[in-house]
A and B are shown apart, each in its own frame.
Chain A
Amino acid sequence: MKFVDEFRDPELGRALAGEILSLVEPGRRYKVMEVCGGHTHSIYKYGVDDLLPANVELVHGPGCPVCVIPMGRVDDGIAIAREQDVIFTCFGDMMRVPGSNGSLLDAKAAGADIRMVYSPLDALRIAKQNPDREVVFFAIGFETTAPSTALTLKRARAEAVTNFSCMCSHVTIVPPLRALLESPDLRLDGFIGPGHVSTVVGARPFEFIPADYGKPVVIAGFEPLDILQAISMILRQLDEGRCEVENQYRRVVPYEGNLRALEVLQEVFELRPHFEWRGLGFISHSGLKLSDAFADLDAERRFSVPGVRVADPKACQCGEVLKGVIKPWECKVFGTACTPERPIGTCMVSSEGACAAYYNFGRFAREREVV
């Protein structure tokens, strides 16, 4: 494929792997967090981590929008989906995420009309095709997907579609990163910055990471060469004693972000005082809800939702895995009570989660050599 294969060239990959090897200080251990679930996915899809020396360890961050949705919110979604005449729509990945009493997939099997969509506009189309039904879109994701939800809501308003509403579980990227960085037991040397989020918010919001916490950030694209290059840029910063935000993904990410998208977000959403993250707990000003101007399209106001907070299972140590404090296999329930088929915690839910990835890859990750 043109414009894609160029970024998957194995020769260039080998060259970058060699460069990374030359930047690694023998005996030193490096932990680099890729913030975004999209990066985790690419890393596994292309086997990028297999090309790194074993003392460069990639830690999977909190940027998987599916993994971070807490049980209580899944329960709320299921409660709405079970209402008479509701068609509940969500992204496919969301279907498997366990609530306190089953997933959306289970609710669907029990009779709720739950449909997978690829875009919020698909949900709006379903609403227009079914004027006698209430169509609810379960909106999830970071600043990457929030603009498309916002535009869909604006379109619903413009077209006077009254049977459409949105259960907003959008989140923002900076607060959870700050929460991670505040954690005293954090062990990370640098961050691969989230490329897709940055196309919207720009590079500027990440300046606090080097400034306040002394860790380098390199915003990266999602092709394997992008990721390898970002890792080498982080190692080079460490090697040269620099610490700054660099932009590897300049072909897409402007420093100031996408101003029009940011404007739309301002118009349609406002920050919630608190939002609960699975594995990370409550984080202030980290979640979005519909602004007062769009309140009539807010599913949480249109339907009664239980809104009960369900604590993460006690045995689950996803928070520590996310911070890089423990490895997946060090969690008490890993591989025994918590498996990809029957996940307990967020990290096992999506194939992008750190635990699911380790469960599947396990021993091979250990075969690499340390320099």
Chain B
Amino acid sequence: MTDQTAVSDREQKILGIIETARGKRARFRDEQINMAHGAGGKATQSLIEGLLAPAFESAALDEMADAGSVEVDGLELALTTDSYVVKPLRFPGGSIGELAVNGTVNDLAVSGARPVALTLSLVLEEGLPAHELRTEVAAIAGAARAAGVQIVAGDTKVVERGHADGMYICSSGIGRRDPRAVLSPAGLRPGDRILLSGSIGEHGTAIMLARGEFELDASIESDTRSLWPAVDALLEVAGGELHCMRDATRGGVASVLNELARASSVAMIVRESQIPVEPAVAGAAEILGIDPMYVANEGKLVAFVAAEAAEAALRALRSVPGCERAAEIGEVRTEPPGMVLVQTSFGGRRVMDQLVGDPLPRIC
């Protein structure tokens, strides 16, 4: 039976148009900024690819990695920056201060750079209780010590009451490229295995519950932590067989996979049953109607490793404290380029698309 079901020429053509449109660099056509532009999904992508990257014309920026490359007299450095606007400031498992260190450290780490030093910029709201500031300063110092980085410069600004939700923090980080690392967002190869460093969705869910907007009680803690030990372990066993890494923050694992599928023009198939999710997170997601794959993490990475090195890499990853539940969740394929497919636990397949809109505001 092929008569009625063969894909007609016109349908082929339209599917072709859609696929071309998906592969294209997103354009920024909105008249004003809305919350979706900050959610890490399609709108964020349009802002970055459509406005920022074209304006600055930098090869390092065009790579769309978590940190940019800078070469100084033969010394290869990685540079990154991030802002933290999370609400509430403290939440189970962490606080804005820890995020400001770990988030920036992780952007360096997954770019294959050993984090060396950070700068810190504090935007404080008039009326912020001093003890809250002290607590966050201590949290920053503690997280920096734990991650082995120094805070080498900083700035403080105060804005009128009502303008910064207590405090915003911006941190920039510099790291030294690890000679073992040969990483690139465009470096994925068909056959690569997709490794995930642990259970997902904890940070975003913890924040959501900490806001008290839903009458839900569960002991879920943010997973904020430095990923350098995990990266170090992976580089040690896999070296050049490790093709790319990303930390799955805003937009979750789904967004990372989609970005990289597009950057490398490959497809991915993910096995839902292999993805570790804590029962409390799965339960909260079920009740709130959210897919944990789109929920933010602050201490989980996704790594793409050549098939032959995957087993050893997974073993190495699992030996790192905090990564005991690391898993191989899928693999890279050729067709259809730019798309991420999921084999659901139930047995069907579907597309795991980029995030559209903004399910969870202000999580980092």
Chain A positions near chain B (C-beta within 8 angstroms): 1, 4, 8, 10, 13-14, 17, 26-27, 29, 44-51, 54-55, 92, 95-96, 105-106, 108-110, 118, 122, 224, 327, 329-330, 334-336, 339-341, 351, 359-364, 366, 370-371
Q: Classify chain B's interface size.
A: 35 or more
> Is there contact, CB below 8 Å, between B347 and A47?
yes
Q: How far is the CA of A1 from the CA of B292 in the complex (A)?
A: 15
Instruction: Give the residues from 306 to 364 in chain B that come closer than 8 angstroms, CB to CB, to chain A.
Output: 336, 341-351, 353, 356-357, 359
> Is there contact, CB below 8 Å, between B351 and A361?
yes
> Is there contact, CB below 8 Å, between B342 and A47?
yes
- Min Cβ gap B57→A in Å is 25
**B59 interface residue, CB < 8 Å from A?**
no
Q: How far is the CA of A224 from the CA of B348 in the complex (A)?
A: 10
Given contacts A341-B42, A364-B341, contact A371 B34 (CB under 8 A): no
Chain B residue with the shortest CB-CB distance to A96: B357
Q: How far is the CA of A366 from the CA of B349 in the complex (A)?
A: 12
Given contacts A96-B357, A364-B341, A366-B7, contact A47 B346 (CB under 8 A): yes
- Min Cβ gap A273→B in Å is 34
Q: Which 8 A-B pairs have the closest CB atoms?
A: A47-B348, A50-B348, A109-B34, A46-B346, A370-B1, A10-B347, A47-B350, A47-B344
Chain A residue with the shortest CB-CB distance to B353: A360
Q: How far is the CA of A96 from the CA of B42 in the complex (A)?
A: 14
Chain A residue with the shortest CB-CB distance to B282: A1
Given contacts A10-B347, A50-B349, A361-B351, contact A106 B32 (CB under 8 A): yes
- Min Cβ gap A48→B in Å is 6
Question: B residues within 8 A CB of A14?
Answer: 347
Q: How far is the CA of A336 from the CA of B18 in the complex (A)?
A: 8
Question: A residues within 8 A CB of B162?
Answer: none
**B130 interface residue, CB < 8 Å from A?**
no
Question: A residues within 8 A CB of B353?
Answer: 360
Chain A interface: which of B9-17, B79-87, B184-192, B194-202?
A: B9-17
> Is there contact, CB below 8 Å, between B1 and A10?
no
> Is there contact, CB below 8 Å, between B356 and A105?
no
Q: How far is the CA of A67 from the CA of B14 in the complex (A)?
A: 23
Given contacts A1-B282, A110-B32, A361-B351, contact A10 B5 (CB under 8 A): no
**B160 interface residue, CB < 8 Å from A?**
no
Given contacts A108-B34, A109-B32, contact A335 B347 (CB under 8 A): no
Q: How far is the CA of A335 from the CA of B14 in the complex (A)?
A: 7
Q: How far is the CA of A45 from the CA of B291 in the complex (A)?
A: 9
**B286 interface residue, CB < 8 Å from A?**
yes
Chain B residue with the shortest CB-CB distance to A368: B5
Task: Please encode chain B, from 33 to 53, with 1 for each CB lying within 8 Å of some chain A CB and 0 for all others.
Answer: 111100000110010000000
State which of A1, A26, A362 has its C-beta within 8 Å of the C-beta of B15: A362
Question: B residues within 8 A CB of A4?
Answer: 286
**B156 interface residue, CB < 8 Å from A?**
no
Chain B residue with the shortest CB-CB distance to A110: B32
Selected A-B contacts with CB under 8 Å, 20 pairs: A8-B346, A44-B350, A46-B350, A47-B342, A105-B35, A105-B36, A105-B357, A109-B33, A109-B34, A110-B32, A224-B348, A327-B11, A329-B10, A329-B15, A335-B17, A341-B43, A341-B356, A362-B15, A362-B19, A370-B4
> Is there contact, CB below 8 Å, between A360 and B351?
yes
> Is there contact, CB below 8 Å, between B11 and A329?
yes
**B21 interface residue, CB < 8 Å from A?**
yes
Given contacts A106-B34, A109-B34, A364-B341, contact A13 B350 (CB under 8 A): no
Question: A residues within 8 A CB of B46?
Answer: 341
> Is there contact, CB below 8 Å, between A339 and B359?
no
Having A340-B356, A366-B5, one finds 20 other A-B pairs with CB under 8 Å, namely A1-B282, A8-B345, A8-B346, A14-B347, A44-B350, A46-B344, A105-B36, A105-B357, A106-B32, A106-B34, A109-B34, A329-B14, A335-B18, A335-B21, A351-B356, A360-B351, A362-B19, A364-B350, A366-B11, A370-B1
